[in-house]
Amino acid sequence: MASSGNKDIADEIKKQIAQNNKPHEIMTARALQKADLPSIRFIVAEILPQGLALLTAPSKYGKSWLTLDLCLSVAEGEPFLGFNTEKCGVFYLALEDSYRRLKKRMNSILKDRIAPECFSYAINAPTLDNGLDVYLRQYIKEHPETGLIAIDVLQKVRSLTRQSNNPYAAEYADLSILKNIADEFNIVILVLHHNRKMTDGSDPFNMISGTMAIMGTSDVSIVLHREKRTDEETTLSITGRDVEEHDYKIKWDKQTCRQQLVGSVEEIQTANDEEEYNKDPVVITIKGLLKDNSIGVVRTASDFLIDMARYAGNYDGHTPHSLAKKFPNIAHKLYLYDRIIHKSSRRNHTFSFDRELRLVSLHDEND
């Protein structure tokens, strides 16, 4: 990008000061209620709305690769991690990289495709107390199609002159500058940052390095984390003002040099639960009995153990007494997955299956 010169930068700073000194706008509640406001712009559907976004991870977790993939996907208008994107201009400040490394990584992702035209790099930039805001505003004015700016990493543009005796105020001031630009132009500014060395299993967002001002200023916070560094899958946790809080599992694909979405943690857990349910010898026995007996059957707990050997091949360590405890514990899954309703009664010492009503009643013969 061609330099606009010191005079242009000085004029821009004066203009911003004048704008900041304008009277603050006041709107009544009724006026706001009737106002026709534009919907929120999502650069990446569901996960990346306009505003200031934060992406954090420990070192060597692949956040720069993920960011490059994001930038290329948005510039091409292609899905990112399975989510649709809005095609727009992208400016990637890769401040810890060289053009040689960026070229190699980009070609690894693009394979034989030509790089998108509306995507630009910079490997040097001013700091937040030395004109970064002017630099970014000037770039956006020269490239009005810009919808995403990625800054890798925050430490490279942090203010060098702000008072260090109040870290919260310094971080809040730095990130507020970037948020103001994002809000002014209705774009996404994505800032990469590091996690603390200490982990927090209860809340991954407590891993973000620095004060609470970093997360508090951001509209969206995304944290990459694993239980162990050697895990093949990485959890991507996201929260924000205009997005639903979610945890996703992603996995590195060596062939494409891209992270692939495995699924949401909730979906994966549900799938694992269903798989475990379908492999349960008790469940296999119940479904087998219902399949083979169209008019229903009556069994004692001891009979059911024999049926387990027939349908499932083993007793799974159960006794008549343990079966009495097992059925109530899986009753909700029996209904959820197979619409089988379980009811207990102490009037006799048998349990019955009614195929027509999908009814299972268990009675412990030892009651």
Picking from 266, 288, 316, the residue at the C-terminal end of a domain is 266
295 and 339: one domain? yes
Collapsing DSSP to helix, strand or coil, 51 comes out as strand
Q: What are phi and psi of 151, to 5 degrees?
A: -115, 115
In a domain, 24, yes or no: no
173 and 286: one domain? no
Identify the residue whose tokens are 């209860």. 202
Provide the whole-model pTM.
0.78
Identify the residue whose tokens are 């857990």. 269
Q: Beta partners for 119? A: 90
115 and 163: one domain? yes
Kind and range of the H or E element at 287? Answer: helix 281-292
Q: Which of 58, 349, 319, 332 shows the shortest CA–CA distance to 204?
A: 58
Mean pLDDT, all residues of the chain: 85
Work out the average pLDDT over 109-137: 96
Q: Tell me, what amino acid is at 80?
A: F
Higher pLDDT among residues 112 and 340, named by residue = 112
Q: What is the CATH number of the domain that holds 164?
A: 3.40.50.300
Q: Do 193 and 174 contact (CB within 8 A), yes or no?
A: no
Kind and range of the H or E element at 109? Answer: helix 99-110
In a domain, 70, yes or no: yes
161 and 292: one domain? no
Strands 48-49 and 51-57, bridge-based pairing: unpaired
What is the tens place of the pLDDT at every residue in 125-135? 999 999 999 99
88 and 209: one domain? yes
Give whole-number Cα distances, 279 to 75, 316, 317, in Å.
46, 11, 15
Q: Which domain holds residue 303?
A: 280-362
- Structural domain count, the chain: 2
257 and 290: one domain? no
309 and 257: one domain? no
Picking from 218, 239, 266, the residue at the C-terminal end of a domain is 266
Q: Beta partners for 263? A: 249
Picking from 232, 266, 300, the residue at the C-terminal end of a domain is 266
Could you write out the DSSP letters of every residue in 163-185? -TT-HHHHHHHHHHHHHHHHHHH
pLDDT grade, residue 365 (50/70/90)?
very low
User: What pLDDT score was predicted for residue 203?
Assistant: 83
Q: Do 43 and 51 contact (CB within 8 A), yes or no?
A: no
Work out the average pLDDT over 203-225: 89
